[in-house]
Amino acid sequence: MCGIAGKLYLDGQTPVDPELIQRMTEVIAHRGPDGSGKYVSGSIGLGHRRLAIIDLRPTGAQPMSNEDKTVRIVFNGEIYNYRELREELLAKGHIFTSTTDTEVIIHLYEEYSEDCLSRLRGMFAFAIWDERKKFLFLARDRVGIKPLYYVNTGKALLFASEIKSLLIDPAVRREVNLRAIDRFLTYYYLPGNETLFKDVYKLEPGHYLTVSDGRIIDRKYWDLPVSTSNRWSNIDEAVTELQELLSRTIKDHMISDVPVGVLLSGGVDSTGVLRYAVEHSDEPINTFTVGFSGASFADERTYAKLAADKFRTIHHDLTLTAQDFRDFLPKYVWHMEEPVCEPPAVSLYYVSRLARQTSVKVLLSGEGGDEAFAGYPKYRNLLVLERLKSAFGPAKGLLSTALKTVELFTGKENRHYRNCINSRMEDYYYGLAATPETPFNRRKSSLYTSGFAASLGDYASHQPTRDLFSQVNGSSTLQKMLYVDTKSWLPDDLLVKADKMTMATSVELRVPLLDHQVLEFAASMPSSYKVHGRTIKRVLKLALQESVPDKILTRKKAGFPLPYDRWLKTELRDFVNDTILSQNASLDSYFNKASVRDMLQEQQKNSSDNRNGGKAQHALDYSREVFSLLVLELWHKEFRL
């Protein structure tokens, strides 16, 4: 696990400044505190920061080359089938000087060129420079576990693991992408390849980019399959196959020359990962979780301790306070770089730091289990809703009346799903990516200044969702939802958080449930194997039912709960108001201050009413909106925009 950066002048003549490459890697030293390296030759420069995980010797240093120094690589990630690939390549006559997975990629490229990507199992972002062909090859893993950003200045292509490396070059302008602000307030994250910096892009998951003779070409090499398989006669057969796949996959994800721990939330996914990790470890495993100070907060520690006791781990936990949360927010923005409304990311930072303090450099996580095996309640709810819409046909008005009478869903969800009755899924699903309610989308007309609104033109803020739905026409309702979330919500929100917060503490996070073989296996299953009646994540729970405590399998989904909404209204109220409503706030360029003040007052009034026994529970909750505005303002300050 590392950080990479580089620059290539498109004319093939202009020399790269070695000092620039040095500074591009220094700014991401947190991604690799164990070493650094660079290669600069004429118009190409490659930089690397190393977090030593496999082959801790100097032979694992990067940039790394083949035998005759004609192919060089900088690589961030882990290849879990590298040992098998190494044996194949040795048999073909390739010569190795290390035992790293990095060197395997070099020789695999020599053997198969860009097609080498289909042979790799793992998480990766890398750059290969082929000196003979004057050819640059950038690639990102199938799901987007590891990040890779790039910018074309017109004269040069720059790339890096983090945007802040690109900004080191004076040729890269620090200009705000105005459309991305609107899209962020639509989704609470940024789907697709755009960033909040104009002209800075994400290489999308499952894509690679080549540069040759000044031409830049972006190609897709993998997509999540949506066709189901008929190879199982019943779900029990699928359960047995899944158990074998999970055992094999998690064993591979434990390959390391440094200690491996487990990030334990006490949920089904992380406990399932722990169950198989223990099976393949000769030593007790360190597990880590986080709780929160204050009364009446949801706390994962009870369930995490239950799992830790069951599997006899060396368990660690910590307590996070409102002050801890507030203190880290500027660094949260600096590390995340992209505007993401993901308050639990702060918890992930602190628990990763705890792991690092106990000498654990690698953590396994259950991230991705919900997208692979349909673990969000919205999947079950929307399956019911879409079936009812189909059954009622033209009489959808009666369905709305029926939902008012019968609380098929609970509280706020019931109101929200009624609003979806007369819309196609591709037109309303974007609003479910982060929360059942999206107040921003109802308030934009009053929130935006006239100038900012005019700058957006006819820009369709939720077009990414429509585009993804169009790629899976004819698939089942559940397949569509899982496909869209795996291609947007997962890489552009959850995995951004997972990578940036753990790497901020120099810890590598591995996500075995997002191994592409696990994803493809889950995608091939009939929908009923994943959602059946009120049961979600059905096949995974069946696979774990004999080894995971029933209290964990049947608990209500919680994720990594964080009481940020209450903190924003109470302990952090003054900080929020002083930041968002300051006289020189950057937000004033986009939003009407009076409308923003009204939103804050309504949010804080709701808190007061609740404490006094009022009826504010029926009012809209603006916690996500307030946090999003707070993040946006801090982002401008941190990056001096």
- pLDDT at residue 607, as a whole number: 58
Mean pLDDT to the nearest integer, 221-241: 94
Mean pLDDT to the nearest integer, 20-25: 98
- Where does CATH 3.60.20.10 sit in the chain? 2-220
Q: What is the pLDDT of residues 126-166, one digit of tens each?
A: 999 999 999 999 999 999 999 999 999 999 999 999 999 99
Mean pLDDT to the nearest integer, 22-38: 97
What is the phi/psi pair of residue 96, to 5°?
A: -110, 145
> In what side-by-side order are the strands of the sheet with 156-160?
35-41, 44-50, 2-9, 156-160, 149-152, 200-202
Q: What is the pLDDT of residues 521-562, one digit of tens each?
A: 999 999 999 999 999 999 999 999 999 999 999 988 766 668
Amino acid (one-letter) located at 351: V
Q: Which CATH number fits domain 235-373+487-553: 3.30.930.10, 3.40.190.80, 3.40.50.620, 3.40.710.10?
A: 3.40.50.620
Distance CA 410, CA 398 (A): 19
- pLDDT at residue 521, as a whole number: 97
pTM across the whole model: 0.94
Q: End-to-end alpha-carbon separation of the chain, Å?
A: 30
Among 51, 44, 53, smallest CA distance to 17 is for 44
Question: Does the annotation count 116 as an active-site position?
Answer: no
Q: What is the pLDDT of residues 453-495, one digit of tens each?
A: 999 988 888 899 999 999 999 899 999 999 999 999 999 999 9
Residue with tokens 């070099």: 106
- pLDDT at residue 57, as a whole number: 85
- pLDDT at residue 229, as a whole number: 84
> For the range 406-414, what are the long-range contacts, defined as Cβ-Cβ under 8 Å and sequence gap of 24 or more?
408/384, 409/381, 412/436, 412/437, 413/381
- Where does CATH 3.40.50.620 sit in the chain? 235-373+487-553
pLDDT at 516 over 70: yes
- pLDDT at residue 436, as a whole number: 43
Q: What is the pLDDT of residues 539-550, one digit of tens each?
A: 999 999 999 999
The active-site residue, picked from 2, 116, 341, 420, is 2
pLDDT at 405 over 70: no
- pLDDT at residue 408, as a whole number: 59
Mean pLDDT to the nearest integer, 316-334: 95
Q: Mark residue 144 as left, alpha or beta (left: phi above 0; alpha: psi -120 to 50; beta: remaining).
A: left
CATH superfamily of 2-220: Aminohydrolase, N-terminal nucleophile (Ntn) domain (3.60.20.10)
